Amino acid sequence: MSHVVVVGVDGSEPSRAAAEWAAGEAHRSGRPLRMIHAGAAAPFDPTEPGDAVEQVPEPVLAVWDHLASALPGLEITCGHAPGNPAAVLAAAGGRDGLVVVGSRGSDGFAGLLVGSIALRTAARAHCPVVLVRAGDGTGVEGDVVVGLDSARSYGDVLSFAFEQAAERGAAVRVLESRTRPAGPYLTEAPVDQPEIREALAAAELTRLQDAIAPWCEKYPALRVEAEVTAWPAGRALVEASRGAALTVVGRRTSGLHAAAPWLGGVAHTVLHHAHSPVAVVPHA
């Protein structure tokens, strides 16, 4: 990936957690960090004579100062942008950037609720969006978990997940949910039911391994675990997110979801219940 890491900040504890996560990501990937306070301006003008006027709350500036001191080599900018926060953040990320949002903030960053800024940003951005909750940790330790449907094109999702794992030196855990018919299974050969089930499970795992093979070849140093589960996809990813550095889900760029446009049911489940930061990656 290239371009910039964008983080929405409002002075709340979750937005501070998001800013710290975004700063770590920018530092690892060698990209600049852009902190944006979107929406209504605060009655504060931190600019010096000759600078453009930007109204940013003091708590946001405190986070800026903290990150600049902690990571002196990191290029950080901070400013206010008027307008709808979700639209502002999505536009700032463009197609090549990364947007990070705190999931339980205030003044527009009001948590993972239907219609929230976090959901709207994830639903409309053309680049990956990472949602970080205070208390979930910064996502430095643990595996990168990614949900996959091997019957669909998930190239962008896998590329993001594998690159994130490579940046961290972490393992990749790829999960696919498949529900097999309960049986009984009929075959011409004299094969017992348990053997048929085992053969079907092995075939599904092989299909998944074939789907991720190009990325395994591109990142040969990474440890990759592929697993086909009978659990519903959302539940499987939520459980796998315990102790994960990051949980990655895809978002189709066509279609409509009743609660939030362009987000599917699996993404909603994971966003509401995951125990790690969650990345939503748009894909065809």
Residues 121 and 161 in one domain: no
Residue 257 domain-assigned (yes or no): yes
Confidence of residue 284 (pLDDT cuts 50, 70, 90): confident
| Tokens, residue 274 | 């995951």
95 and 223 part of one domain: no
Helices 13-29, 58-70: inter-axial angle, 10-degree rounding: 30
Count the neighbouring beta carbons within 10 Å of the beta carbon of residue 148: 23
Domain carrying residue 157: 144-283
Q: Examine the domain organization and report whether 159 and 114 are in the same domain.
A: no
Q: In the predicted model, is pLDDT for residue 264 greater than 50? A: yes
pLDDT of res. 193: 60
DSSP-assigned letter for residue 129? E
Q: Is residue 60 part of a domain?
A: yes
- 3-state DSSP helix/strand/coil % of the chain, to nearest 5: 35, 20, 45
CB 110 within 8 A of CB 14: no
What confidence tier does 111 reach under pLDDT thresholds 50, 70, 90?
very low
Tell me how many domains the chain contains. Answer: 2
- Is residue 173 assigned to a domain? yes
Residue 226 lies in a domain: yes
pLDDT tens-digit readout, 173-221? 999 998 766 656 666 666 666 666 677 678 889 999 999 999 999 999 9
Domain CATH for 194: 3.40.50.620
Q: Are residues 122 and 159 in the same domain?
A: no
Task: Identify whether the C-beta of residue 41 lies closer than 8 Å to the C-beta of residue 82.
Answer: yes
What does pTM read for this prediction? 0.85
56 confidence band (pLDDT: 50, 70, 90): confident
Residues 148 and 104 in one domain: no
> 219 with 122, same domain?
no
Residue 45 has pLDDT above 60, yes or no: no
DSSP 8-class letter at 191 = -
Please indicate, yes or no, if residue 114 is contained in any of the structural domains: yes
Do residues 155 and 256 share a domain?
yes
Residue 272 shares a structural domain with residue 239? yes
pLDDT, average across residues 134-139 = 62
pLDDT score of 114: 36
Q: Name which of 46-55, 137-146, 262-271 the model is least confident about.
A: 46-55
Share of the chain above pLDDT 70, in %: 78
pLDDT given for residue 199 in this prediction = 72
Say yes or no: 69 and 156 in one domain: no
Distance CA(68)–CA(139), nearest Å, equals: 20
> pLDDT band for position 248 (50/70/90)?
very high
Distances (CA, A) of 258 to 187, 202, 255, 265, 282: 42, 36, 10, 9, 18
Q: Which of 104, 132, 160 is the last residue of a domain?
A: 132
**Same domain for 150 and 279:** yes
